[in-house]
Structure 1
Amino acid sequence: MTTSLVAKVKSRMFIVAHRRARTMLDGEYGSVFRGRSLDFDDLRAYNAGDEVRDIDWKASARYGAPLVRRYAAVRRQTVLLVADTGRNMAAVSRGGDAKKDVAVMALGVLGYLAHRHGDLIALVSGNAESSSSLPPRGGEAHLEVLLRRVDEAVAPDGGRSDLTAQLAHVARTVAQRTLLVVVADEAAIDDEDEALIRRLAAQHEILWLTVRDAELAGPDAPRRSYDVADGGVLLSLLADAGDVLADYRRLVDERNDRREALLTRLGIVEGHVDSVDGVLPAIFRLLEKHRRGR
């Protein structure tokens, strides 16, 4: 019997993360929609990390301890998850896990947070050959279908990765303003991508989570590995030469610096994750960074 991917996500959230951490993660997610059609809901005890401006001082004085206001959305929001399912995601992440597994866990955590808050979840995924979408719906069963779609689509012999194709699909098909959550690897951004991302950022709010690639050069690199993009052998022994290693790292840094600089200019918050174990803290940092930047 196939293990539920949602069950794996919930196990990690409710076993690895203690109750206080889960409460803070819920609070950070809720802050994404702060100020958007939100009504006062109730009061709860103040937790570390809560916004000071949300403290209800009069109620706190009566209660004898700090209380913060909680808000509920008047209508359900839509969270659109955008995922690269090309063969690049079948490669290994910096922490040693398959990038696909890291991406599925990240999508699962964000999707489950959306579910807990009553929001709708949609998906756009694909590779250079085709893009597909799942419409916005609620519920764990829908989240399971979404995660399964991503998990089963990624394979070493699958289509070439092309995040641009997925973003272009969103630009063509999604008219209503929504929250886009992009989960991809260390994608290179060219002029075409820049124009497309700029267009999307003007219409939607975007959170970007980058799954870091494995080190392919230097002492921590595997002695023999393969490039999933073309099947070629990567001879890391050759990269021990100082000039080769320096050039490789310079190119990687330039690629990542361009992407990070563009996202920063457009007000898009980017987070980074190395492994499945690092997903929860990475998402917390991403949401916290978004809240502090608003």
Structure 2
Amino acid sequence: MPTKSQTDLLKKVREIQIVSRKVVDELLGGEYKSVFKGRGMEFDEVREYMPGDEVRTIDWNVTARTGKPFVKRFIEEREQALFFLVDMSASGSFGSTGQSKNEVAAELCGILAFSAIKNNDKVGLIIFTDEIELFVPPDKGQLHVLHIIRAILGFEPKHTGTRIACALDYLGKMVKKKCVTFLISDFQDADYDPSLKLAAIHYDLIAITITDPRELELPNAGLVELADAETGEQILVDTASAAARNTFRMAAKARSLETKAALTRLNIDQIDVRTDRDYMRDLIRFFRTRERRQTL
């Protein structure tokens, strides 16, 4: 018989499944297909030439053999792989608004994964901290997507730190073909620019930054002991001090701007998600902005 924690996990997976499928059917199904196109065009068949057909598509070998003009017909090679690189370091378990960053990551993966399989794409997963903790090879189907959601929600990492470069380098070793890659993290890390640059060349890389409001601004709550979830370092802060709150706010803003600048410099699309607001607005804005850009 399942334990309470297992029952809660299955219930959460089911909730994500229901919401994700609804969102895909109503909002993102067509958006996903138009934004993430297949790898190119593949040959399908030859058929007799019809008025209006492009002359450049004539198959001269078949035409010469039959004595009638035939054209080659091509279809989009739709199938591709979608990979999630999910940061499960200790800072991801933080949440001040009812949801942790890891829970939001699982929901985002669910929505994007159901969009992918609806378009016959495969979905894979890499969970990382300062080490690679889990690799799920790309596959299709609803059961596979549910497995990925369950893996993220129920995962218990062995390490606490973050090494984004480690995840990107591992992706480069394991996945040789171009694929769509969502890097989902709070980006509380450094020295990943070279790996980010290389990955952006080989893959269609999109960064999703997940932030909790308490990481951006401290409340006025008197003396508060702050702890770094990844290093264990603790510090006592007088949050009643406007100067202390402002110092914290400015440092958080500087980190955010540094991350944004690094991604912009490498032409990597970024989706900013917060635990205290509806992330669907951010997702839809990304899809529509990217679609407009591709049609220019």
Judged with a 3 Å threshold, the aligned counterparts in structure 2 of structure 1 residues 221 and 160 are, in CA distance, closer, same or farther, namely: farther
Q: 8 Å contact 2:185–2:208 — kept in the other structure?
A: yes
Q: Is the counterpart of residue 150 in structure 1 residue 149 in structure 2?
A: no
Gaps in structure 2 of 5+ consecutive residues: 43-74
Match of 1:256 in 2: 256
CA distance in 2, matches of 1:88, 1:171: 25
1:215 aligns with 2:214: yes
For residues 13-32 of structure 1, the aligned pairs below 5 Å read 13=20, 22-32=25-35
2:182 corresponding residue in structure 1: 181
For 1:54-93, what aligned pairs fall within 5 Å after superposition? 73-92=76-95
Q: Structure 1 residue 229: deviation in Å?
A: 1.9
CA distance in 1: counterparts of 2:78 and 2:38, whole angstroms: 13
CA RMSD of aligned residues (A): 2.8
Check 1:160–1:132 CA distance in 2 against 1; reply closer, same or farther (3 A cut): same
Match of 1:11 in 2: 18
Partners of 1:73 and 1:105 lie apart in 2 by 30
CA–CA distance in structure 1, aligned partners of residues 85 and 288 of structure 2: 20
SS in 1 for 2:239: helix
CA contact (8 A) 2:185 2:209 kept: yes
Distance in 2, matches of 1:14 and 1:140, equals 10
Residues 234/288 of structure 1: CA separation in 2 closer, same or farther (3 Å cut): farther
Question: Structure 1 counterpart of 2:169, which letter?
Answer: A
Q: Does the CA contact (< 8 Å) of 2:218 and 2:248 recur in 1?
A: no
> Which is bigger in relative contact order (C-alpha 8 A, separation at least 6)?
1
Deviation digits for residues 244-293 of structure 1, max 9, x if unmatched?
A: 22222222122111111121122211111222862322221222232233
Q: Percent identity?
A: 21
Distance 2:142 2:119 in 1: 12
In structure 2, what is the Cα distance between the partners aligned to 1:184 and 1:289?
22
Give the aligned partner of residue 288 of structure 1. 288
* Matched residues, number: 253
Checking the alignment, whether the CA contact within 8 Å between 1:92 and 1:98 is kept in structure 2 is: yes
Residue aligned with 2:193, SS: helix
User: 1:69-111, CA deviations, whole angstroms, 9 ceiling, x for partnerless residues?
Assistant: xxx8434111011101121111116x44111111110111111
By how many angstroms is 1:114 displaced? 0.6
Partner of 2:164: 163
Distance 1:78 1:185 in 2: 24
| Aligned CA distance change for structure 1 residues 268 and 82 (closer, same or farther; 3 Å) | same
Describe the shift of the 1:14–1:253 C-alpha distance in structure 2 as closer, same or farther (beyond 3 A).
same
Do the aligned partners of 2:117 and 2:140 also contact (CA within 8 Å) in 1? Answer: yes
Within 2, Cα distance between the matches of 1:221 and 1:158?
31
**1:107 touches 1:147 (CA, 8 Å); kept in 2?**
yes
Match in the other structure for 1:108: 110
What SS is found at the alignment partner of 2:257?
helix
**1-structure distance, mates of 2:240, 2:288:** 39
In the alignment, the residues of structure 2 paired with residue 162 and residue 76 of structure 1 have an alpha-carbon distance, to the nearest angstrom, of: 30
Quote the Cα distance in structure 2 between the aligned partners of 1:201 and 1:195: 10
Q: CA 1:170–1:14 in 2, change beyond 3 Å: closer, same or farther?
A: closer
C-alpha separation in 1, matches of 2:85 and 2:102: 13
Distance 1:173 1:36, change over 3 A: closer
Does the 8 A contact of 2:221 with 2:240 survive in 1? no
Q: Check whether the contact 2:99–2:275 (CA below 8 A) recurs between aligned residues.
A: yes
Report the TM-score, using the length of structure 1 for normalisation.
0.75
Alignment match, 1:126: 128
Tell me by how many angstroms 1:240 deviates: 3.2
The CA distance in 1 between the partners of 2:221 and 2:12, in whole Å, is 30
Query: Quick check: which has more Rg, 1 or 2?
Result: 2
Counterpart of 1:98 in structure 2: which amino acid? S
Distance, in Å, in 2 between the alignment partners of 1:77 and 1:37 is 10
Partner AA of 1:148 in structure 2:
R
